[in-house]
A and B are shown apart, each in its own frame.
Chain A
């Protein structure tokens, strides 16, 4: 099973700042990594697929990068609705697995 480790667990930032979230895989997943956003009481929403592709309707301030075992989600110029929990997910190997999440909170 591929283990995805997200860091930091919590990121405290102010609106307008840039958030940099990390996801590290226990073995290579090539580019087969996605990112989701989840707000309290809501279902997750797909943001990024295959490491760097924005899903339909996702604002350009969300960007993804990485390959192999190290991936980054960058949120430029945070706005209030971006404060949420973010999860990465790999589709390279069975079973499909998610990271433990990074909470982006208002400082």
Chain B
């Protein structure tokens, strides 16, 4: 199974900050990397697919990059509604696996 490791596990930031979350795969997954946002008590929501493609309706302050084993999710200017938990997920092979999550909290 491909292991996905996110860092940091939690992060405190302020509205307007630029934030970067990292995801590392245990083997190369090309660009088969997706990012989801989850708010408490809600289902995850797709933000980025294929490492860098923005899902329709997602604000442009979200961006993704990387390929192979190292990936990043960047939020260019944090908004109040962005405080949530973020997960990366590989779709290179089955079983599909997720990172452990990064909890983004208000400073």
Is B a genuine binding partner of A?
no
